Amino acid sequence: MARASMALAGVALIGFGVLLASARLLPSSELHAGEPDERVDSVELATRSGDVRVRVGTGDSVRVEQRVSYWWRPPGPGYEVRDGTLLLEDCGRFCDADYDVVVPDGVTVTGAVRSGDVELTGVAGIELQARSGAVTARDVTGPVRVTSRSGGIDIGLAEPADVTAEARSGDVTVSVPDARYRVDGSSRSGERRIEIPTEPDAEHDLTLDTRSGTVTVRPTPAP
């Protein structure tokens, strides 16, 4: 009987250990949301792992939602405003952070992301480096400069502007409104589909490069 009790106790301990290990393998999640009172003129991305969405709203307020998934210690909010710049940071090791941000009209986006998709809508300009993930921008009203190591780049302009985009592995697509454009750049492996008239002395320059991927330039679709 004693041996049977010891065996049952051993099985129970093993089961508890398995449950504890399983719990540690499953991430916990938290949502940090806020509306900073400070003026925001730009957004800077400095994220390690997670998707980022920034879009222009209808008013002057700023709203930030940060959803984190973590395995060990719960992180605090990873955003703050410094001298008019809303800084979106990662949440440390063993942690992913997704951002959903609403900003006023006229805000630009800069910075770098390591892993995750970036979606921007209505911003006034972009200067961004992405290591792994797709970059999508719609209704952009100012100049764009984007590089991506692994992931496609898809830019849609609401107003004529210069665009510089380079993707090592992925397609580059740019949609432009009616204006005069010059298209530069090269593609080592992939097609170049230029579906707009081009002029060598045009006011706006589209410099588009890919190592492995297709370059497409097309008119902005009618609303």
Could you tell me if residue 15 is inside a domain? no
Question: 26: pLDDT confidence band, cut at 50, 70 and 90?
Answer: confident
Burial of 80 (0-12, 13-18, 19+ CB in 10 A): middle
Query: How large is the average pLDDT for residues 4-12?
Result: 46
Asked if residue 13 belongs to a domain, the reply is no
Domain contains 8: no
Q: 105-118: per-residue pLDDT in tens?
A: 999 999 999 999 99
Check whether 214 has a pLDDT greater than 80. Answer: yes
Regarding predicted confidence, which is higher, 36 or 16? 36
Residue ranges making up the domain that contains 56: 29-219
Q: CATH number of the domain at 109, please.
A: 2.160.20
Q: Is residue 19 part of a domain?
A: no
Confidence band, pLDDT 50/70/90 cuts, at residue 24: low
- pLDDT tens, residue by residue, 176-198: 999 999 999 999 999 999 999 99
What residues contact residue 175 under an 8 Å CB cut-off, 6+ apart?
A: 155, 156, 157, 217, 218, 219, 220, 221
CA-CA distance, 54 to 43, in Å (whole number)?
9
Beta strands of the chain (E only): which ranges?
Answer: 28-34, 42-49, 52-56, 63-70, 79-82, 85-89, 95-103, 108-115, 118-121, 126-132, 135-140, 144-150, 153-157, 163-169, 172-176, 181-184, 187-189, 192-194, 204-212, 215-219
Q: How many domains does the chain have?
A: 1
Residue 6 lies in a domain: no
Q: Among residues of the chain, what percentage have pLDDT more than 90?
A: 77
pLDDT in tens, 82-104: 999 999 998 878 889 999 999 99
Contact 155, 175 (CB under 8 A): yes
What tens digit of pLDDT does each residue of 130-165 get? 999 999 999 999 999 999 999 999 999 999 999 999
pTM of the full structure? 0.86
Q: Reply yes or no on whether the pLDDT at 12 is more than 70.
A: no
